A and B are shown apart, each in its own frame.
Chain A
Amino acid sequence: MLELRNLSFAVEEDGVKKEILHDLNLTVKDRQFMVITGPNGSGKSTLARLIAGIEKPTSGQILLDGEDITDKSITERAKLGIGYAFQQPVRFKGIRVLTLLRLAAGKNLNVSEACNYLSEVGLCARDYIQREVNASLSGGELKRIEIATVLARKARFTVFDEPEAGIDLWSFQNLIRIFESMRENIKDSSMIIISHQERILQIADKIAVVSDGRIDRQGSRDEIYPTLVGTSAAQAACSRLK
């Protein structure tokens, strides 16, 4: 279970303090699938980075299974079972896809095990396993590899920051299947997905709406989803084509 208690985060810009998140409270129980939505710039990605430990809150606490992890480093949180999928994945000159998957799994995966993770994200494994994670990969390929590394982590608690961004050509159904199989295969696992996509919202157990750095409302999908339909917080997969 992950709990955020009175979490605030502020940055200083040109000597002026700017609050990004204000006094945020949120609980994600084991086996729960929470989607956080809200307008752009509302602080959703910052929230994800706070959970992964990339940013430190100005005040408040983060607890994982009752243990206060607010002051723990990124590495310590990863070892405690927190996974994080970047919205904009990182490129590495020289590091191969296979190496990255092995680092993610924390063991010397054999090629066929590594290939399974790539197949799950819809990449023809044979073509990718020895590729470098560098600028020769397209944004979409990189995004799928990012998701594959998170799969290989088998983390108990995973945060996905806009997993659908950049993978338009790949069906949403596959992405949703991945979330479902993670939930089935990793015992008591739970996840937060930051997304505007209505198809992802539709499979949530719980939805939280963030607006201006505050949780505007949260509750079960049946309570919250109808309030979002037709707003920018719930976009159709092909909204761009409309």
Chain B
Amino acid sequence: MVQLDAIQKRLISEIADLHGVPEGAYNFRANGGLAGRQTTANIDIVSKENGSGIDIHIKPGTVNESVHIPVVLSQTGLKEVVYNDFYVGEGADVVIVAGCGIDNCGGQDSEHDGVHRFFLEKNAKVKYVEKHYGSGDGTGKRILNPVTEVHMDEGSYMEMEMVQIKGVDSTERTTVAELKKDAKLVVRERLMTHGEQRALSVYKVELNGENASADVVSRSIARDRSYQKLDACIVGNAPCKGHTECDSIIMDEGTILAVPSLEAHHVDASLVHEAAIGKIAGEQLIKLMTLGLTEQQAEEEIINGFLA
């Protein structure tokens, strides 16, 4: 049922590590249209009536299932905004893999703005993986502006892995989350910009219930003349625990702004932030060179490790 050309298949393998049709539920979107869909007994995917996106319904108690919703754009000049809503039933435990790949060989800008909303019911557990990738040698820009909204009910758990390593010219990522009692959010962001790219990443996490906790860690590298702004805010409105960390390597003529912030409205809110920006240490390069690596290989190893 899934029909993809060679470029689209390459994009899919970059963003979802998929080399064929995945098992479980999926929804493939290519160049603004549906390219394939599969539902399971427990996971239903339906198009919104106005055609602006999809609703994914995961039944309570669904375990060990996955949903893939990759998007690929290989047509220059295409701009789209897509709304995807995930309803994760009580006690479900699932993996959701999203991601967007843009190949732009033309002269016009291509843009995909995905708005993902997650509604986790009590004790639901989600691992969410989102990868963004751009390629193509056209002069048109590759633009991705994802918005992620997470609503977490009591005792729910969400782990988000957000990766954007290559080829996206401009991105403005916004992630907001609100957590009830005993809910836990873990975010691992990996970002690398190069050339003239610009990336903004904004997090606002509100810990509203007793014993809610969040751990938001961003590791990023700015190369060439690229620009990054990382803005992570955790708000504690109850007895809760929050930790945010922005750790960046700056290279060449890159620019990095790290703006971690904390806001406490409860005397038992325990919030911590850390931020560090630095270049690759000379001693690190030297150590790897004494093992026989060239300076360039050493640099690549350090970057790969840092973003692993």
Contact = CB atoms under 8 A, between A and B. Distances in A.
Interface in A85-110: 86, 89-90, 92-96, 99, 103-104, 106
Contacts of B307: 94
Residue of B286, B291, B306, B308 with most chain A CB atoms under a 10 A cut-off: B291
A63 interface: no
B284 A92 contact: yes
Residue of A82, A90, A96 with most chain B CB atoms under a 10 A cut-off: A90
A75 B293 contact: yes
Contact of B287 (A82, A86, A99): A86
Interface string B269-308: 0000000000001011011111111110000011011111
A103 B294 contact: no
A52 B239 CA distance: 55
Contact of B301 (A74, A86, A103): A103
A102 B305 CA distance: 13
A84 B308 contact: no
A94 B287 contact: no
A82 B289 CA distance: 11
Interface residues of A, number: 25
B291 A104 contact: yes
Interface in B240-296: 247, 281, 283-284, 286-295
B8 to A, nearest CB: 32
B247 A78 contact: no
A38 interface: no
B247 A93 contact: yes
Interface of A: 52, 54, 73-75, 78-79, 82-84, 86, 89-90, 92-96, 99, 103-104, 106, 132, 149, 153
A93 B305 contact: yes
Contacts of A75: 289, 292-295
A86 B289 CA distance: 12
A94 B283 CA distance: 16
Contact of B283 (A79, A90, A149): A90
Residue of A73, A93, A106 with most chain B CB atoms under a 10 A cut-off: A93
B290 A83 contact: yes
22 contacts: A52-B290, A74-B290, A75-B293, A78-B290, A82-B290, A84-B290, A86-B287, A90-B281, A90-B283, A92-B305, A93-B219, A93-B306, A94-B219, A94-B302, A94-B304, A94-B305, A94-B308, A99-B305, A103-B288, A103-B291, A149-B291, A153-B292
Given A90-B283, A90-B284, A73 B289 contact: yes
Contacts of A93: 219, 247, 305-306
Contact of A153 (B219, B281, B291, B308): B291
Contacts of B302: 92, 94-95
Given A92-B284, A153-B292, 11 more contacts: A52-B290, A78-B291, A78-B292, A83-B290, A92-B305, A93-B219, A93-B306, A95-B302, A99-B301, A106-B291, A132-B305
A74 B305 CA distance: 22
A208 B293 CA distance: 31
Contacts of B247: 93
Rank and list the top 4 A-B pairs by shortest CB-CB distance, nearest first.
A94-B305, A95-B305, A78-B292, A74-B289
A93 B284 CA distance: 10
Given A79-B292, A103-B293, A74 B306 contact: no
A189 B201 CA distance: 53
Contact of A74 (B219, B284, B286, B304): B286
A201 B295 CA distance: 35
Contacts of B219: 93-94
Nearest to A49: B286
Contact of A54 (B286, B292, B295, B305): B286
Contacts of A149: 291
A103 B285 CA distance: 13
B289 A90 contact: no
Contacts of B292: 75, 78-79, 106, 153
Contacts of A74: 286, 289-290
A149 B306 CA distance: 20
A106 B308 CA distance: 20
A153 B291 CA distance: 7
B197 to A, nearest CB: 22
Nearest to A106: B292
Contacts of B286: 54, 74, 90
A82 B304 CA distance: 26
Contacts of A89: 287
